[in-house]
Structure 1
Amino acid sequence: MAAETRGRVIVTVAPNGGRKTKADHPALPLTADELARTAAECLERGASMIHLHVRDKDGGHSLDPEAYRSVIARICEEVGDRLVLQITSESLGRYSPAEQRAAVLRTNPEAVSLALRELAPEKTDEKDFGLFLGKLKQMRIWPQIIVYHPDEAERLGAMLKQGLIPFDKLSVLYVLGRFALTRTAIPRDVLPFLAPDMPRFQPWSVCAFGRREAACVTAAALLGGHGRVGFENNLTLPTGARAASNAELVAAAVRALDVVGLATQTAEGLREEIATAIGT
């Protein structure tokens, strides 16, 4: 990787999620055109990757490959290859693990997020999960594993030691906080994932629920991690004011990183990291 991009912070934007609607925020992007405009705005503010959810005709959560391809094509028209495009495989109670895997393979995206608790809910599912990751590696799809609790990180680390994970460098996303207002994230929530006896993953990122999102991302970055921001998890600026757009949340995170002397990664630099992880 070029020296000028090595060590930079990956800022991902998650602009919509699978639950929120226009009633939550009128600027929530749902259509292909809205997502393309959001992608361009967030790219300008410093994002290097966008995390995508698509909806069905009734506005419900969907993993439909055709819907994904339509959105991906529209975003590429708007920003070219200047953002890494990551789809979700999230179930939201609508898809079985087999259906999630099939949707990812049929979509054939550049990158995908995979919740360990959904794709391998039981220990007996771990072998199939590893085989699925092997298929992703063959197809050159970059996976990011989502973990919600340190216990899940320990389980994932054990799978690595057992040789079930076909990636030497495995990207993970630590989820800080929950949807419930009582679980608004705070920066120290990342510490249990980084305890001395915990497994180490590279690269690792955080996403955080609530107005301390930028603070959580900055704390993670200072500890060697990366961050995801956006309307999926948070609608509020660090000041407590309601964000007008996803781009405002990206800008807030980038400003916070700049204050502590950290630069953001580009899509080009991130793709160099992805190539190393997948193997070329």
Structure 2
Amino acid sequence: MDVTITVAPTGPIATKKDNPTLPTQPLEIAEEVHRAYLAGASIAHIHLRDEDDRPTADLDIARRTIDLIQERCDILIQLSTGVGLAVPFEERARLVELRPPMATLNPCTMSFGDAMFLNPPGDVRELAARMRDLQVKPELEIYDTGHVEAALRLRDDGLLGEEPLQVSIVLGVRGGMAATAENLLMIAGRLPADAVWQVIAIGRPNLELTAIALALGGNARAGMEDTLYLGKGVKTDGNLPLVERAVALAAALGRRPRTVAETREALALARATVAADDALATQR
């Protein structure tokens, strides 16, 4: 069985003070993504930062980042509409107007650390419908048990576009599910049989839960959004070692990384990808 490897080079929280090799600016992100692509990643999950390294949904920064990545490789772009907890929902939602092949869709509001991650139900439905109309594939991020049902209601209402569903099971965020094997097994068991899924394990449990997900037939996500360390007290030197570790885990289980074309097919992205390419070409 083949496996899709996603690189998540930069999240909304960590800074260069936490790990100096964290990429935050468009060129840094593009170069990290290119290295991950050469190692076997076929999807790049992209968060954006402004010139002061703060999370942003600025469309010009997004376009520049996408352009720099696409100049280097044909990896599939997955824009985060989560962006950052301080960024208003309407600004985050505008990122889908760039028509990337994929973007995140967070079905529920939740506590996130000491803050709130606001995803009002009506706004989520409008964003889902807009993504469907633009043929932007949702990456459904499931932080807690009720998020599964919320996502399935969107599907049942015809708001999620072409199946299979693409799901990320997020474990270890304070306010969401704990990063345990039991929680991973429970949520994976509640997904539709044809869903394409991966685990996003935050922090110390990242390696263990990625290995379990791979053994269960899930995909793998690797990168500095999820962990800044390769082991206890050992900071990673960029995203590449984390991606290489995920590829090695998959290989140990007899699973080969999918190419970009194979990932497109597995996610039914063909039409959406063509639309995104045309839209970006027009905007340039």
Give the structure-2-normalised TM-score: 0.83
- From the superposition, tell whether residues 187 and 73 of structure 1 become closer, same or farther in structure 2 (CA, over 3 Å): same
The within-5 A match list for 1:166-177 is 166-177=161-172
Match of 2:16 among 22, 29, 33: 22
1:257-276 superposed matches below 5 A: 257-275=250-268
2:282 maps to none
Counterpart of 2:76 in structure 1 is 84
CA contact (8 A) 1:211 1:237 kept: no
Structure 2 Cα separation of the partners of residues 192 and 114 of structure 1: 21
Could you say if the C-alpha distance between residues 31 and 159 of structure 1 is closer, same or farther in structure 2, counting changes exceeding 3 Å?
closer
Query: How do 1:213-232 residues align onto structure 2 when only pairs under 5 Å count?
Result: 213-232=206-225
Query: Partner residue of 2:280?
Result: none
Q: Provide, for residues 158-208 of structure 1, a one-character-per-residue CA deviation record: whole Å limited to 9, x for no partner.
A: 33334444333221111011269xx8734443112034xx24261111111
Separation in structure 2 between the aligned mates of residue 159 and residue 111 of structure 1, nearest angstrom: 17
Preserved CA contact (<8 Å) 2:106 2:124: no
- 8 Å CA contact retained: 1:184, 1:209: no
Query: In the TM superposition, what whole-angstrom CA distance separates every residue of 1:133-161 from its partner, at most 9, and x where no partner exists?
Result: 33323322222011101111122223333
CA distance in 2, matches of 1:43, 1:16: 15
Q: Which moved more, 1:198-207 or 1:32-41?
A: 198-207
Determine if contact 1:212/1:238 at 8 Å carries over to the other structure.
no
1:210 and 1:234 in contact (8 A); partners too: yes
* 8 A Cα contact 2:25 2:53, kept in partner: no
Cα RMSD, aligned residues only: 2.6
- Asked whether the 8 Å contact 1:89–1:113 carries over to 2, the reply is yes
- Note if 1:108 corresponds to 2:104: no
Counterpart of 1:38 (choices 15, 23, 32) is 32
1:54 — aligned with what? 48
State yes or no: 1:99 paired with 2:91. yes
Alignment partner, residue 71 of structure 1: 65
Number of equivalences: 264
Query: What are the residue-to-residue correspondences of 1:231-246 with 2, within 5 Å?
Result: 231-238=224-231, 241-246=234-239
Unpaired runs of 5+ residues, structure 2, are 110-116, 275-284
Q: Is the 8 A contact 1:215 1:256 kept in 2?
A: no
Q: Give the partner amino acid of 1:268.
A: A
Equivalent pair of 1:175/1:208 in contact (CA under 8 Å): yes
CA contact (8 A) 1:115 1:146 kept: yes
8 Å Cα contact 2:56/2:87 also seen in 1: no
The 1:21–1:179 alpha-carbon spacing in structure 2 relative to 1, beyond 3 Å, is farther
TM-score (norm 1): 0.84
Q: Is the 8 A contact 2:10 2:223 kept in 1?
A: yes
Identity rate, percent = 27
1:150-189 correspondence to structure 2 within 5 Å:
150-178=145-173, 185-189=179-183
**2:6 corresponds to which residue?**
12
CA distance, structure 2, for counterparts of residue 121 and residue 191 of structure 1? 26
Distance 1:120 1:178 in 2: 15
| Matching residue of 2:114 | none
Q: How far 1:73 sits from its partner (Å)?
A: 0.6
Question: By how many angstroms is 1:11 displaced?
Answer: 1.0
Change in CA separation of 1:94 and 1:42 when aligned onto 2, cut-off 3 Å: same
SS state at 2:235 partner? coil
Tell me if the contact between 2:25 and 2:50 (Cα under 8 Å) persists in the aligned partners: no
Distance 1:149 1:212, change over 3 A: same
| Runs of 4+ off more than 4 Å | 276-280
- Report if the CA contact (8 A) 1:211-1:240 is conserved: no
Q: 1:206 aligns with which of 196, 199, 203?
A: 199
In the alignment, residue 172 of structure 1 is paired with which amino acid? V
Q: State the Cα deviation string for residues 38-73 of structure 1 (Å, max 9, x = none).
A: 112111222111111111222210011110110111
Which letter maps to 2:103? V
Quick one: structure 1 residues 33 and 162, their matched pair in 2 at CA, closer, same or farther if it must change by over 3 Å?
closer
Contact 1:238 / 1:252 at 8 angstroms: preserved in 2? no
Specify the alignment match of 1:3 in structure 2.
Answer: none
8 Å contact from structure 2 (residues 167, 198) kept in 1: yes
Distance 1:179 1:37 in 2: 31
